[in-house]
Amino acid sequence: MNLSDMLGYADIQQLSRIADVYRCECNGNSKNDLIQSILSTVSRTEVFEAQISSMKLEDLRFLNSLLFEPRSSYSLEDLIARVQQCRFGEDEAKTAEEQQPKKSRRTKKNADTEPKAASPREMIAKFKHHGWLFNGYSGPSRYLFQVPNDLKVRFRETLAKRFAAELQFTEEPPVYRDEQLLIHDDITHFLYYARHNEVQLTADGSMYKRFMLQILDKFGVQEELPGKGAWRFGYGKHFNQYPNRFSFIYDFCCSNKYISENDTLLELTAAGEERLLSRPPGEAEQLYRCWLKLYKGPISNLLALAHWMNALAAEWVTVESLRKVLVSYIKPYYYDDAETILEKRIISMMVHLGLLRLGEHPEFGSVVKMTKAGTAIVSGVGLDERKPSATN
């Protein structure tokens, strides 16, 4: 539903609170006057942009987590969890402060006078008072929250304009990498190798190094094995033994039941045999969804970040300027800081998936641009729904 629909179901108390936030001048006892005044005020571009400009970073992170998901409603528990996930910057500041010598810490008196961060429930209430969140109006939906669809669109457009103003766009670089179709070919290479070789597994289920090196040598994109003792967390089934791209290919084949780990052997399944004969339609979309599923644990807002990459990299743009815009919205994960996650877990993987091109500009360094196929996949249009004249 859109904002006008949700205002119609809201009670006069909530309408009055929303009208107070936007300083609407109207008859506070008339529900119709309240609704018309709110709609008239919110529709003004300068009012909407001023509200966003006044938002704190944790508010923007929380908002960002709601803008791109296809789901239409959220439980209170889900929203509380999202607010808590948006406070990683404050947690890091607190940790840094605790590590300081006692003499350099704030005194209790100064700490008491500083404003405390709003609780998750207070932030949710704040969004309700702005007309950005609404409860359902009947039955079980009374306990669920929704964001008006038209406001989602306006938020995305306003934030995109704000982000784009900070970006450095360039002309096409003299050289760039475009890995479209390569990952599909390398899936075939991997399955072919598993079919024609007795691939032995170690006690932890990973392949022995000699098999791994032979497989990587056949791939169109070369990778090195992880360094011994390197810290690696949460990005796949055998991520600590396999390099990034192959680890994802391996997990994709497992999730599609193309391969099976039987005691000490890796074997090709009947589904794997079928995949060897021909690439199934929609595999590019399947790879994208698999990436989101595998990486959303370590990167909780990965879907939103992928959509922002799609929106902000429609033309060649520097990685450095993207970093300045997006890094504040990325929560560090163990020994992966926000910049590492952006470059290695998001940009590099989107290049491997054929969603992004990565180039090297002689003046501005690394630059990226979405492929047409990538735009179709991330935006949800799908490759099969594009016009026949469209190219990758």
Q: What is the pLDDT of residues 339-389, one digit of tens each?
A: 999 999 999 999 999 999 999 999 999 999 999 999 999 998 655 544 444
pLDDT band at 103 (very low <50, low <70, confident <90, very high): very low
Q: What percent of the chain has pLDDT over 70?
A: 89
Mean local confidence (pLDDT), 259-285: 95
Tokens 């991330």 — which residue? 378
Q: Measuring CA to CA, how many Å separate 61 from each of 155, 264, 304, 373? A: 12, 45, 10, 28
In angstroms, the CA 123 to CA 117 distance is: 9
Mean local confidence (pLDDT), 249-271: 96
User: Tokens in use for 326?
Assistant: 């997006």
In angstroms, the CA 14 to CA 203 distance is: 60
**Whether the predicted pLDDT of 95 surpasses 70:** no
pLDDT score for 72: 84
pLDDT score for 384: 53
Residues 6+ apart with CB under 8 A from 126: 59, 118
pLDDT score for 383: 54
Mean local confidence (pLDDT), 224-239: 82
Q: Please return the burial class of 7, using the count of CB atoms within 10 Å of its CB with bins 0-12, 13-18 and 19+.
A: buried
DSSP-assigned letters across all residues of 205-253: SPBPHHHHHHHHHHSSS--PPPPTT----SSSTTTTTS-HHHHHHHHHH
Q: How far is CA 205 from the centre of its chain?
A: 30
Q: What percent of the chain has pLDDT over 90?
A: 76
pLDDT tens profile 293-329: 999 999 999 999 999 999 999 999 999 999 999 999 9
In angstroms, the CA 328 to CA 137 distance is: 36
Q: State which H helix or E strand residue 54 sits in.
A: none
pLDDT band at 89 (very low <50, low <70, confident <90, very high): low
| Amino acid present at 99 | Q
Return the higher-pLDDT residue of 276 and 107: 276
Q: State which H helix or E strand residue 176 sits in.
A: strand 175-177
Phi, psi dihedrals of residue 341, rounded to the nearest 5°: -60, -45
In angstroms, the CA 122 to CA 128 distance is: 10
Return the higher-pLDDT residue of 229 and 86: 86
**Whether the predicted pLDDT of 59 surpasses 80:** yes
pLDDT score for 102: 45
pLDDT band at 32 (very low <50, low <70, confident <90, very high): very high
Q: What is the CA radius of gyration of the chain?
A: 25
Q: Measuring CA to CA, how many Å separate 214 from each of 220, 222, 270? A: 13, 11, 23
Closest CA to 245 of 353, 336, 357: 353
pLDDT band at 100 (very low <50, low <70, confident <90, very high): very low
Mean local confidence (pLDDT), 160-178: 96
Q: What is the DSSP letter of 44?
A: S
pLDDT score for 117: 72
pLDDT score for 267: 96
Return the higher-pLDDT residue of 367 and 97: 367
Considering the entire predicted model, what is its pTM? 0.88
pLDDT tens profile 108-132: 444 444 456 779 999 999 999 999 9
Q: What angle do CA 165, 166, 167 make, to 5 degrees?
A: 95
**Whether the predicted pLDDT of 200 surpasses 50:** yes
